[in-house]
Amino acid sequence: MGWPELDWVAKKHKELVFARLKASGARSVSPIDVPKENFMIRPAVVIDPVDRLAYQALTDRLSKSVIGEMHRQAYGWRLHVKDPKPGAYSTNDAQWELYRNHLSALVANFEVALKTDVVSCFASLRLDVIADEFYARAGSSAVVERTLSMLESWEKAPNRSGIPQRSLASAVLGNMVLSRIDDILKYHAKPMSPAEAGLSFARWMDDIWLFGSDAGDLRSAQIEIQDGLQALGLHINTGKTKLLEGSEIADHALNVAHSAVDDGFLSLIAGKPADTGPLDELVEKLLAEKEEASRTSIKFATKRMREHKHFSKVDGFVDVAPRMPHAADALARLFRDADRANELASWYLEYRSTPWAKLQWSSAQLGTMFSSSVRPQVEVVDHFAEILSAGGLSLPMAALAAQRLASWDASKARAVISEAVKKSDSALQRRVLALAALHADHNRTIIKKWLNDFEENSLTLEMLKETNFKKPKLKPDFEG
């Protein structure tokens, strides 16, 4: 659904952010469970919009001090290598290309590789460790103390630990802490050829690669990496730690880079047919791995399928979609762009009745394949109405059901949302219901009352009043 409040505050009411920066603590958060590979759960939170802007502003201010000297071979969520400036980040698309290219060069130059990552990295980052890193790199200041104050408030959320996930600000803090591991990697890394420059390691947040020529040296380095992580309160992921030799290196590292897939489409530049073989091979591999398939690889493959309108393997993804909850968002976009949503209506409803649909984040993401602008079969409309009226939905599912109903059947949406409001007990859920009701042309006085029930929604209400209750634009990707 998006956060129109963010643009409204950033463009017209920066004083609200300044006021929050001068305050202490942070507002309450809404928990959501986001699936990872193999049906593991990433416990995440949805942050108040002004807190989100304040948190980012604070870390932007600190960014040069805490990650300005991060090694060039630590990729993603970083400042530019040359002339880094506070808050001026290199795009992750550019960083991903650099990471892929560097991995490809490492594969071509070394015979052995160690691959590992960190168990529940963001959820395991301790506040005392972050504080120590702040003081060591940026000293004690009002900006540091205000950032720690926000983190302390979020740390108190029930059944949540560490720092907020899916946040650029948190990623900066994650890189700050993990850059300590870069020192170990640099010590054990080998120099590459003068033409390629660099050292034989790469890090993408907590995904770590170290290349060399001797397996014993890399295992020794692994022990030091493990000790280094433990000193930071983190733990090496033993299940994902692998020593790779020979062809295994290319199999694993190039699966991250997926360079062969993109090479297959280079012929299009010369007006020749594309070689879709590498993409098809990747898709077949992902379909075989099901819930163990890498989310990053699924997103890569489905994006290339959509970009090149290569939809011959869509049925395979339909068959395994219930077993890929961690990639439900990518699959929904694939099904939608392949124009399969209408014929998958019965499939979706059947899926919703099975144990595979226990994770509501995945159900909501798959449901986005039904575009707001195209009314689906009546059974889908009725299903969203029934579950919204019954209450008890997660925030993502409530947002989807309410918004889609408002687009497909405004009259029904007004009645159902009114019932759902009676059963909503969180500020953020009340917010999404109120915004959907606005799109369904509900009574303004009633919408005001719904938002007024929670002080946390005062910002949303003020935005609507100032814009004369103009319907906020939806994110195109969510709207479909």
d(CA 93, CA 112): 28
Q: Hey, what's the torsion of the CAs at 43, 49, 52, 56, to 10 degrees? A: 150
pLDDT tens track for 99-135? 989 998 999 899 999 999 999 999 999 999 999 999 9
pLDDT band at 257 (very low <50, low <70, confident <90, very high): low
d(CA 372, CA 479): 5
What element of type H or E holds 289? Answer: helix 277-289
Give the pLDDT of residue 20: 95
Are 163 and 125 spatial neighbours (Cβ–Cβ below 8 Å)?
Answer: yes
d(CA 258, CA 232): 32
pLDDT tens track for 334-373? 999 999 999 999 999 999 999 999 999 999 999 999 999 9
Give the pLDDT of residue 152: 96
Give the pLDDT of residue 260: 76
Give the pLDDT of residue 377: 95
pTM: 0.89
Count of beta carbons in the 10 Å neighbourhood of residue 169: 24
Are 30 and 426 spatial neighbours (Cβ–Cβ below 8 Å)?
Answer: yes
pLDDT tens track for 245-254? 988 888 777 6
Q: At what angle do helices 360-367 and 328-337 cross, to 10 degrees?
A: 20
pLDDT band at 479 (very low <50, low <70, confident <90, very high): confident
Q: How many CA atoms lie within 13 A of 364 on its CB side?
A: 23
pLDDT tens track for 275-305? 899 899 999 999 999 999 999 899 999 999 9
Eight-class DSSP state of 70 = -
pLDDT band at 400 (very low <50, low <70, confident <90, very high): very high
d(CA 292, CA 315): 19
Are 154 and 29 spatial neighbours (Cβ–Cβ below 8 Å)?
Answer: yes
Give the pLDDT of residue 269: 65
Please report, for the chain, the start and end positions of each structural domain, with discontinuous segments joined by +: 48-253, 258-478
Whole-number mean pLDDT of the chain?
94
What element of type H or E holds 61? Answer: helix 49-67
Q: Which two tokens stand for residue 92?
A: 């992750």
The percent of residues in the chain predicted with pLDDT above 70, rounded, is 98
pLDDT band at 270 (very low <50, low <70, confident <90, very high): low
pLDDT tens track for 31-70? 899 999 999 998 889 999 999 999 999 999 999 999 999 9
Give the pLDDT of residue 30: 87
d(CA 173, CA 126): 11
Any long-range contacts for 370-374 (C-beta under 8 Å, 24+ apart)?
370/336, 370/341, 370/345, 370/404, 370/480, 371/336, 371/341, 371/479, 371/480, 372/403, 372/404, 372/407, 372/408, 372/474, 372/479, 372/480, 373/407, 373/479, 373/480, 374/341, 374/342, 374/480
User: Across 246-363, where does the E strand assignment appear?
Assistant: none
Q: Is 462 exposed, middle or buried (0-12, 13-18, 19+ CB in 10 A)?
A: middle
Any long-range contacts for 39-45 (C-beta under 8 Å, 24+ apart)?
39/291, 39/325, 39/359, 41/359, 42/120, 42/123, 42/165, 43/123, 43/159, 43/160, 43/161, 44/164, 44/165, 44/166, 45/154, 45/157, 45/160, 45/164, 45/165
- pLDDT of 264 above 70: yes
Query: At which residue do the structure tokens 């649909």 appear?
Result: 357
What average pLDDT does range 453-471 have in this prediction?
95
Instruction: Name 191's bridge partners.
Output: 199
**Which of 328, 412, 399 has the alpha carbon at shortest distance from 369?**
328
d(CA 249, CA 243): 9
Q: At what angle do helices 168-188 and 49-67 cross, to 10 degrees?
A: 20
Give the pLDDT of residue 43: 86
pLDDT tens track for 364-379? 999 999 999 999 999 9
d(CA 301, CA 282): 7
What average pLDDT does range 144-160 have in this prediction?
94
> For the chain, what's the residue count?
480
Q: Which residues contact 356 (CB under 8 A, 6 or more apart)?
A: 322, 323, 325
